[in-house]
Structure 1
Amino acid sequence: MPLNALRVTVYFVASCFNVVTAWDISCRAAEGAQPNVVVILADDQGWGDLSCHGNPNLSTPNLDKLGQSGAVFDRFYVEPVCSPTRAEFLTGRYALRDGVTGVTSGAERLDVNVPTIGNAFKEAGYATAAFGKWHNGTQAPYHPNSRGFDEFYGFCSGHWGLYFSPMLERNNSLIRGDGYLANDITNHAIEFIEHNRDKPFFAYVAFNTPHSPMQVPDRWWEKFEGKQLAAKASLPEKEKFDHTRAALAMCENLDWNVGRLLTTLEKLELTENTIVVYFSDNGPNGYRWNGEMRGIKGSTDEGGVRVPLMISWPGQIQPNSKVTHNVAAIDLSPTLLDLASIQGKPGLPIDGRSLKPLLLGKNENWPPRILFTHWNGQTASRWDHFLLDSQQRLYDLSKDPSQSRDIASKNPGIVQRLDSALDNWLQDVQFGKSRPPRPFVVGHPDSNITQLPARDAEGQGQIKRSSKHPNCSYFTNWKSLSDSITWNVEVTTPGTYRAEVYYTCSEQNKGSLVELRLGNSTTQAQVVKAFDPPLISEQFNRFPAEESPVKDFEPLDLGTIYLSESIGELTLRAIEIPGESVMDVRLLVLTRIEE
């Protein structure tokens, strides 16, 4: 598959740490051995979901050992939800700058003019790969293969409804996963490391757990099923104990898989020349033990955005190091590029700062700064040990980690400073200002295949989603000729495309004639074959799921359609409905036919 042909940019932050600049690519790594980099990202794992942070409910020996081998960050901050944090890691920039304003239906897409850490390492000669959950855009040029990653195995959605041999993709081609998803992701990451053992590599291993649905193999669930919890949430009346048990089991599975990755590096004698980073994308996805912190995922309170961060590089970072400065996801990209000595010439600005001085014990002149978090109308500013929340309440986290005592009235100067800084930041990142619409791209030169999932479409008429959460949903209740499914698209490469819709249909409802149309171009096909599989996801749930139930879908060939370079509504509608309904729809795939 062709990779990104666009001009891209990488970032470099000078080791003096007060020069924060981005860099156009014209670079090579500095002389000497280039360190390998493995970045491991958990999904919805809270700060308290590690035994090394004092949780007696579970055991995470591999993560504990990873922290002991390098640096553990005491106050590492991310955004309250998944996609903004991932974008900030990839770019070193606040997500609001770059179009990441939501978690689904296109709002999770990272602007294409912003380069990623994948671009940087690739241009510096590294083999690059991303495994697991992407969550920053599905279609090229937002797809990971267009953002500097040679290899991609996983899914692009914000969450997935089935963790056992689900439908996934490899380099934009649909495949079937093999076994439990976290284990499968690790298997592919290990294969990549083994294959590239003799050259520098950058592996981004983005797990999907302990994000719901709460699905975990028996091997890990059996330890926690019915277990009495020694430590409970600070608001115990809100804790759902089977949800907690499942989350803890999933965290122990994560720890096992991290151990497999670390063992692979050791067996291949790569440990000494590999930087390993472990962090989570937001706070816990439920009320459970998380120290004394207030808030969970979705909140800008401490519990929603303070998460684990460990960075290990034997021989370079002293073992058992502890960093107490406030740092953030925006710092990871400049840090890794700085550690890898990737250099270049000035370009786009970034918000992050290289943590190299903190990691190497040279932090005497580390200047203070204000960090910002934002989600769904909530904002918070952090400076030193002070937190100003979205309701103008001020807390001293060094004395009040549970945010129980508002000290705003006693510290008006600090409130004014943080509030003013937040106003300036919101203006700087263009928060609330209108942006040009971003249709879903069809036919980008990076890929012959364009996936248009149901989450990126709108159902018209009586059509309904299978869940209130669009991410991995499908459309159902398609019963009328006035119903339709539409995607707002931009065709960037004109040509003939083969169209396939992934559908299910019962025997009694087969026979509908459907049409796909964009402007004056159309193609039609009849649903001649019934395909009516059962729901398969619910049997694996350890706790009731809010995500869409999952079933298998089969491709229906809609024929070919000529698409001119244009912007418009790509519409799927029925022309004839002999039964009670047409079909359920999960995905539309357009494949450009080379002429």
Structure 2
Amino acid sequence: MGSFETLIACFLLLSSLRNSFAGHPNVVFILADDLGWDDISLHGSQEIPTPNIDLLATDGILLNNYYVQPICTPSRAALMTGRHPVHLGLQHDVIVWAQPYGLGLNETLLPQYLKTLGYSTHMVGKWHLGFYDKEHTPTKRGFDSHLGYYTGCEDYYDHTWGFTKQDWGLDFWHDREVDRSAFGQYSTEVFTSEAERVIAEHDVSKPLFLYLAQQAVHSGNPGNKVRLQAPWKYVKNFMGIKSEERRVFAGMVSALDDSVSNVTKALHEKGILNDTIIIFSTDNGGPANRQDYNDACNWPLRGSKRTMWEGGVRGNGFIWSPLLENSGYVSEHLMQIVDWVPTVLEAAGFDMSKLPPSLDGLSQWKALSRHESSPRKVLLHNIDPINGDGALRTTDMKIVFGGGDTERYPGWYEPEEALIRSPSKRPSSTACKPWLKPCVFNITADPCEYYNIADFHPDILQELLQKVDEFNQTAVPPRNVPSDPKGLPINNNGVWGPWR
């Protein structure tokens, strides 16, 4: 696959080509799935080198204060709409396979905005925003093409999901047609090849928007005995990792890193890299402590996927482009995944006065490019009225409350072969059990959430609770509905796809 040396040569060439682009820039958004904070070497992981991700991040802008939703569907909805899941009815859990609902059809998605500017829009990979009827599928939501799958996870090689004969089915689509041609092929490589094809065949008279939503590094089909999957050519490079699960997981991350390299080289070979913005993000924190049959790591952050702890919501992310006025720095700009819609649109030359006032996202383009202060001062992580958990952050302070997975995964889950151990004891006066009463942290000073200061600063606690209540007043009820047996593969020719 990719060569780190080739990518370096590419950037050396670019160093003399940094001129502003008069037209609409190309935008490539790469979304990783379940990638933990400590799963890339850029954040100090000594187990898994990710040279290609690291190079783009360090040459661009590493987003060190960047937040996502704690789980798949809400993050993807926020990314596509620029609206918070509490305003979309997608604040609770994910869309389970046969549930007949999705991201509301009244919402305008990022590719739909970009098409008004003449963009060609293509999606590759995971959707997870509803598929019970064709109107909810990608090519009906602003994308010119889609190769990938609709559900939340599946086997990396046979592209199926299920536990029983009733719900075991294929989920692999080319536009709106079932695609069986990828059987036996590793999904990370299939999706990378498709992204390369889209770039190579792109009509350069139009700007390109490519959304590459990789399956990696989510666990595979939970109905199989083997849930973590990677080609041997990657796994063999990590034989020094004792844990078999973590070893295979490392291979999955390495394949993802090569994908980033190959997509970047495809842009260079097409001659459009210099006019392109590359954005990389995870959709949520990593499922640590064997959560969801995975072996991700968010060390030294607290918690896991699905939680309100930093390990669940602080995300890996960067933006790279020669079009940035300033780059090569670590950004402490407070930023959230809802901010990408207005950020991308402003960079693309969209008339920002035409954006609806219901948008929750704030454009970070000028702040990042000019290295100015972030426009975001308050950030709602979530309010889940069913599980009862939630969190909110201001510039420095964060409140965490409620139970759910925040109660189930409250720990600091170290790398299995950690060289540095966390303190074994924490002051009892700072103990935090948000399922009993809200906790407050100074996240700027205490990003690992060791010291609960709620009892010492009741004024700050009340201020944060008031802000939570203000958001709650604008929230809409969750859209979740029970599964429909008619949507099971046994009733649909053995596939997961639209049934209404």
2:150 to 156, 160, 163: 156
Per-residue deviation, 1:374:
4.0
> 1:227-248 CA deviation, whole Å, 9 max, x = no partner?
24xxxxxxxxxxxx43322222
Query: 1:304 is matched by which residue type in structure 2?
Result: G
Contact 1:109 1:137 in 2 (8 A): yes
Q: Does 1:380 align with 2:391?
A: yes
Contact 1:186 1:257 in 2 (8 A): yes
Provide the residue aligned with 1:325 in structure 2: 333
Q: Identity of paired residues, percent?
A: 28
Q: Which residue of 2 aligns with 1:61?
A: 51
In structure 2, relative to structure 1, the CA distance for the partners of 1:170 and 1:242 (3 Å cut) is same
Matched, 1:141 2:135: yes
Instruction: Name the CA distance, whole Å, in 1 between partners of 2:376 and 2:156.
Output: 45
Aligned runs of 1:327-366 on 2, under 5 Å? Answer: 327-343=335-351, 345=354, 347-361=356-370, 363-364=372-373, 366=375
> Per the alignment, in what secondary structure is the counterpart of residue 208 of structure 1?
coil
- Structure 2 vs 1, CA of residues 326 and 107 (structure 1 numbering), >3 Å: closer, same or farther? farther
**Residues in 2 aligned to 1:294 and 1:430: alpha-carbon distance in whole angstroms:** 29
Q: Which residue of 1 aligns with 2:485?
A: 458
Indicate the SS of the match to 1:249: helix
212-221 vs 148-157, which moves further: 212-221
Counterpart Cα distance in 1 of 2:355 and 2:364: 20
In the TM superposition, what is the alpha-carbon distance from 1:156 to its structure 2 partner? 0.7
Tell me whether 1:119 sits opposite 2:112 in the alignment: yes
Pair 59,108 (structure 1): closer, same or farther in 2 beyond 3 Å: farther
Q: Could you say if the C-alpha distance between residues 191 and 382 of structure 1 is closer, same or farther in structure 2, counting changes exceeding 3 Å?
A: same
Would you say 1:422 and 2:468 are equivalent positions?
yes
Residue 76 of structure 2 corresponds to residue 86 of structure 1:
yes
Q: Show CA shifts across 1:249-305 (max 9, x none).
A: 211110001100001111122111000000000111223542321101111100011
What SS is found at the alignment partner of 1:307?
coil
Q: Which residue of 2 aligns with 1:106?
A: 99
Given candidates 371, 383, 396, the residue that maps to 2:380 is 371
Give the deviation of 1:456 after TM superposition: 4.8
Q: 2:309 matched to which residue of 1?
A: 301
Which 4+ runs in 1 deviate beyond 4 A? 164-167, 586-591
Q: Secondary structure at the match of 1:394?
A: strand
Distance 1:406 1:317 in 2: 39
CA distance in 2, matches of 1:177, 1:224: 30
- Secondary structure of the 1:277 match is strand
Q: Give 1:404 shift.
A: 2.1
Q: Which residue of 2 aligns with 1:170?
A: 174
Query: Which residue of the partner structure matches residue 495 of structure 1?
Result: none
1:196-255: CA deviations, max 9, x gaps?
151211000000111002111111112234624xxxxxxxxxxxx433222222111100
C-alpha change, 1:397 and 1:364, in structure 2 (3 Å) is closer
Provide the residue aligned with 1:207 in structure 2. Answer: 214
1:219 is matched with 233
Q: Secondary structure of the equivalent of 1:300?
A: coil
Q: CA contact under 8 A between 1:133 and 1:158: conserved in structure 2?
A: yes
For residues 301 and 80 of structure 2, what CA distance do their matches in structure 1 show?
A: 27
- Superposition deviation, residue 114 in structure 1: 0.6
Q: Does 1:52 align with 2:38?
A: no
Unaligned runs of 5+ in 1: 1-30, 229-240, 439-454, 460-469, 476-484, 486-500, 503-552, 554-585
Deviations along 1:463-486, one digit per CA (max 9) or x if unpaired, are xxxxxxx9xx756xxxxxxxxx7x
User: Structure 1 399/135 Cα, relative in aligned 2: closer, same or farther at 3 Å?
Assistant: same
The aligned residue for residue 580 of structure 1 is none
2:313/2:381 contact within 8 Å kept: no
Task: Give the helix-richer structure, 1 or 2.
Answer: 2
Residue in structure 2 matched with residue 256 of structure 1 by the alignment: 258
**Following the alignment from structure 1 to structure 2, what is the Cα–Cα distance between the partners of residues 83 and 45?**
15
Q: Is the CA contact 2:378–2:392 (under 8 Å) kept in the aligned structure 1?
A: no
> Secondary structure of the residue that 2:360 maps to in structure 1?
coil
Cross-structure match for 1:286: 288
* Counterpart for residue 273 of structure 1: 275
| 1:39 partner SS | strand
**Counterpart of 2:247?**
245
Report the count of equivalent residues.
412
Change (3 A) 1:37 1:589: closer
Q: Distance in 2 between the 1:188 and 1:274 partners?
A: 18
Superposed displacement of residue 152, structure 1 = 0.7
Contact 1:165–1:180, Cα closer than 8 Å, also in 2: no
Contact kept in structure 2, 1:165 and 1:177, CA below 8 Å: no
Higher relative contact order (CA closer than 8 Å, sequence separation 6+): 2
Structure 2 match to 1:411: 457
Secondary structure at the counterpart of residue 141 of structure 1: helix
CA 1:177/1:84 → structure 2, altered by over 3 Å: closer, same or farther?
A: farther
Normalized per residue, the structure richer in strand is 1
Letter in 2 for 1:196: H
In the alignment, the residues of structure 1 paired with residue 193 and residue 99 of structure 2 have an alpha-carbon distance, to the nearest angstrom, of 30
Matched-pair contact (CA < 8 Å) for 2:398–2:442: yes
Structure 1 residue 34 corresponds to structure 2 residue 24: yes
Deviation of 1:400 after TM superposition, in Å, equals 2.5
> What secondary structure does 1:210 align onto?
coil
Q: What is the TM-score when the length of structure 1 is the normalising length?
A: 0.65
Q: Which runs of no fewer than 5 residues in structure 2 stay unpaired?
A: 1-20, 161-169, 221-227, 290-295, 402-433
Is contact 1:129-1:149 (8 Å) kept? Answer: yes
SS in 1 for 2:211: strand
Contact residue 124 and residue 191 of structure 2 kept, 8 A: yes
Q: 1: CA distance between counterparts of 2:177 and 2:374?
A: 49
What residue identity is the alignment partner of 2:69? E
Worse-matched range after superposition: 351-360 or 374-383? 374-383
- For residues 54 and 158 of structure 1, the distance between their equivalents in structure 2, rounded to whole angstroms, comes to 29
Is the alpha carbon distance of 1:134 and 1:423 closer, same or farther for their aligned partners in structure 2, counting shifts above 3 Å? same
Do 2:277 and 2:320's aligned partners in 1 also have CA atoms closer than 8 Å?
yes
Name which of structure 1's ranges 319-328 and 160-169 shifts more when overlaid on structure 2: 160-169
Residues 512-535 of structure 1: per-residue CA shift (max 9 Å, x gap): xxxxxxxxxxxxxxxxxxxxxxxx
Q: Is the partner of 1:209 in helix, strand or coil? A: coil
Task: Name which one, 1 or 2, has greater alpha-carbon Rg.
Answer: 1
> Contact between 1:122 and 1:148, CA under 8 Å: does it hold in 2?
yes
Cα distance, 1:244–1:412 mapped onto 2, change above 3 Å: same
CA distance in 2, matches of 1:118, 1:589: 21
Corresponding residue for 2:199?
193
Match of 1:579 in 2: none
Measured in 1, the distance between the counterparts of 2:77 and 2:29 equals 14
| 3-state SS of 2:346 partner | helix
Deviations 1:311-331 (A, max 9, x none): 011142433122102210000
2:447 maps to what in 1?
A: 401
CA distance 1:409–1:177, shift in 2 (3 Å): farther
